[in-house]
Structures are given as C-alpha cells and as structure tokens.
Structure 1
Amino acid sequence: MAGAAEDVRVLFGAAVRAALEAWPALQIAVENGFGGVHSQEKAEWLGGAVEDYFIANADLELEEIEDFLGELMTTEFDTVVEDGSLPQVSQQLQTMFHHFQKGDGAALQEMTSQINQKKCKVTATPLMTAKETDVAEDDVDSVEEMEVTATNDGATTDEVCPQPQPSDPDTQTIKEEDIVEDGWTIVRRKK
C-alpha cells in the first residue's frame, strides 16, 4: 500500500513540475534571469517547494495557493505576476492535489500529458520607448518594456499557442508622454 502512495506522490510531483514549466510568467523570469544567475536552479527548486507546500497543508483555499505562488515569484524572481495566469496555475495545482489526495494516479498522468502537449515556448524581447530613441544608449534611467510572444514548442496539437500577429510599428513604441515623472509607464487599452 505504501508503494502505491509513493507512486502517486511521484506523479503529483511530476504534474506540479510540468504545470510550473509550462507557466509563461515563470518561463520569462527564468529566461531573462530575473532570479539572478541561478534562475534555472530556483525554478527547479520551486517545483519541490510547491509540492511540499501542498503536502504540508491538506486543505488549501485557492487564494492561499495564489498568495504562495505570488510571494515566491516576487521574492525569488523579483517578478510580480499580473497577466491573469496566477489564478489559472493555482487552480490547476489545486486540481492536481485533489487527484493526489484521492490516489488517482491516472488523472495525474493525464493532466501531465495534456500540459506537456500544450506547452508553449515563451520569449520576451525588449521594446524601444520613444524616449530611448532620443537618448544615448548608456542612460541608466530609461524604461524597458518587454513584448511577449508564445510559440508552440513542437507539440503534437495544432494551434495550442496563440501565434504572434504582425504588429503595427506604432504599437511597439511607447510614447514619451506615457512615461510619467516617477518612471512608471501608463498602459492604455487599444482602441
């Protein structure tokens, strides 16, 4: 009996790691070294930390999971996740944990398989602001924005990841009037 429980725990750990590896916010943080020179090691550690968090806290609410993941992203990767993915990943992890608690290894394997099929490669590239085009390159007070694109990582499914659309050059330049005195950038909705 203990062997079956250990097998389900291994499946739960693999599912957690798959979900985190497929999370675009974490991919971008690791790819751009937001966690320092050891970003990749921190991402690997994060999987074990999340798994242990669930094991130590049997009846977590969704908000608690979101808070935990958000705190880890902030402290370990200096990243505030504001793309709406935090509740989605938290819900996915909570569902995995419920399968783990029921001993449903088949459901965990299925979730892991689906995540791996849908996994996208996310890249972020810096955008030039209008202010940067007029200022010398060594200006340390410039604002840097990132454009995020997702591409299918060779998965067997079609159109899982939204393909980047060619963009108008005007949308890739942040106007100088959108950068306020304290260095923050005002983000406006597209019309």
Structure 2
Amino acid sequence: MAAPSAEERALLERGVRAVLSGWAALQLAVAQGFGGPQSPEKAAWLVGALLEFLSQNPELTEDEVEDFLAEVMDNEFDTAVEDGSLRQVSRELLSVFTRAREGDMGGVGEALAALARRGPALASALANARSGHAPDPTPDHGPAPDHAPQSSGSSSEQEEEVWGGDDIIERGGSLLVGVASGDDVIGRALMTSLMW
C-alpha cells in the first residue's frame, strides 16, 4: 500500500495530536513527570512514532494499537494504564487514520471537533492534578465526593453512585483516579500519593 500523501499525513498528524492531547492518562503522566524531565519530549515523540506505526501498518487492529500504546506508557512513562482508555484511544486513532487515508477531510474534521469539546474538562483535571486539589464539580456529573461520604449506603455503593465507577492508572506509589462516562475518561482526575 502506498505511503500517505503530504495532505493525508498532515491531516493524520492533526488527528493523532488531537487524540493524544485529549487522553487524560498521557496528559497526566506528562504533567506529573512520570517519564522524568523529558516527559514533554516523550509525548511529542509519541506523535511521530504513532504516525510511523500507523502509516507502515495500515491493517492494524485496535488490539495491536492498544498493545503499542500500553508498551509506550509502561516503557516511557512507567505507567500501567488500567482505566479502559487504551481501547478508546486506539479506536479513535484508527478512526482518524482510516478517515485520513480515505481523504475524508470532513470526517476527520468532525472527529477533531468532537475531541476538542473534551479539552476544557481535561484542562481542568490537569490543573487540579498539578495543584493537588479535588476536581471542580461539573453540571453533568454533580459535585465531587468528599473523602468521607455522608449517606446510609455502603462506601463502595456511594462511590459507584457519585463517581460512576473508578478508573485507575497506577504508577509506582501513585494512583490516578479518573471519572468515566461510557468508554471515555473525561478528564476529571485526582492525584493521590500512596505509600506502599
């Protein structure tokens, strides 16, 4: 199969950057320096590595892209992503790649617009993670829970009701907890240091 044209490659690069910039696990790993002082450079390298990987292997499956991303997160950011976002990011990358390869600029534009709508939630989560504060309440998810919920249900039931389920990203002695909406981690996140 022929290499992508310059126009397809530029469109694909925009799409890959948009998907990665909306991926809370990667952005938090970079913001918290999980990849060391070169974390931002590693994230920039990942864009090029994904472009190369997708371009040279046009018949990739979600599982193959997911495995590639998991390996990069583990090797470069010392992070095991276990929040379900690897599958979602893989799906988004393949969707953008397929549309760009087919020259479907409108489809890629729609995908980029959808990804851009997640930006404010992720920016808020990153600011909170950097400052060590709990996320601000959002209208679609209600208030953030206290550390000690005050209701008659069990603690795990309360978490499930308030948070919609916990999504976990482990790294050494740290735990990142994100709030999921369907398959998509939307960016509210807490950084909690744990002593093992």
Normalising by the residue count of structure 1, what TM-score does the alignment of the two structures yield?
0.66
**Residue 32 in structure 1 maps to residue 25 in structure 2:** no
Deviation at 1:62, TM superposition (A): 1.0
Give the % identical residues.
Answer: 37
| 2:13–2:51 Cα contact (<8 Å) kept | yes
Q: Secondary structure at the match of 1:81?
A: strand
Give the direction of change, closer, same or farther, for the CA distance of 1:36–1:57 in structure 2 (3 Å limit).
same
How big is each residue's C-alpha offset from its partner over 1:128-168, in whole Å with a ceiling of 9 and x where there is no partner? xxxxxxxxxxxxxxxxxx9974888xxxxx85xx5651323
Where does structure 2 lack aligned partners over 5 or more consecutive residues? 150-154, 156-171, 175-196
Give the direction of change, closer, same or farther, for the CA distance of 1:59–1:149 in structure 2 (3 Å limit).
farther
1:65 and 1:151 map into 2 onto residues whose CA distance is: 33
Name the counterpart of 2:144: 165
2:136 and 2:70 map into 1 onto residues whose CA distance is: 22
Which deviates more, 35-44 or 117-126?
117-126
- Paired residue total: 145
How big is each residue's C-alpha offset from its partner over 1:90-129, in whole Å with a ceiling of 9 and x where there is no partner? 0011111111221112211221122112222223659xxx
| 2:136–2:144 Cα contact (<8 Å) kept | no
Name the counterpart of 1:92: 92
Give the direction of change, closer, same or farther, for the CA distance of 1:67–1:151 in structure 2 (3 Å limit).
farther
1:33 and 1:39 map into 2 onto residues whose CA distance is: 6
Name the counterpart of 2:70: 70
2:23 and 2:8 map into 1 onto residues whose CA distance is: 23
1:150 and 1:47 map into 2 onto residues whose CA distance is: 30
Where does structure 1 lack aligned partners over 5 or more consecutive residues? 127-145, 153-157, 172-182, 186-191
Largest Rg, 1 or 2: 1
1:62 and 1:7 map into 2 onto residues whose CA distance is: 24
2:82 and 2:133 map into 1 onto residues whose CA distance is: 14
Give the direction of change, closer, same or farther, for the CA distance of 1:77–1:5 in structure 2 (3 Å limit).
same
1:150 and 1:50 map into 2 onto residues whose CA distance is: 33
2:38 and 2:118 map into 1 onto residues whose CA distance is: 26
Q: Secondary structure at the match of 1:103?
A: coil
How big is each residue's C-alpha offset from its partner over 1:38-75, in whole Å with a ceiling of 9 and x where there is no partner? 11111111111111110010100111000000000111
1:28 and 1:9 map into 2 onto residues whose CA distance is: 27
Deviation at 1:8, TM superposition (A): 2.3
Deviation at 1:5, TM superposition (A): 3.2
| 1:5–1:103 Cα contact (<8 Å) kept | no
Q: Spell out structure 1 runs of 4+ moving beyond 4 A.
A: 146-152
> What's the RMSD between the two structures over aligned residues?
3.0
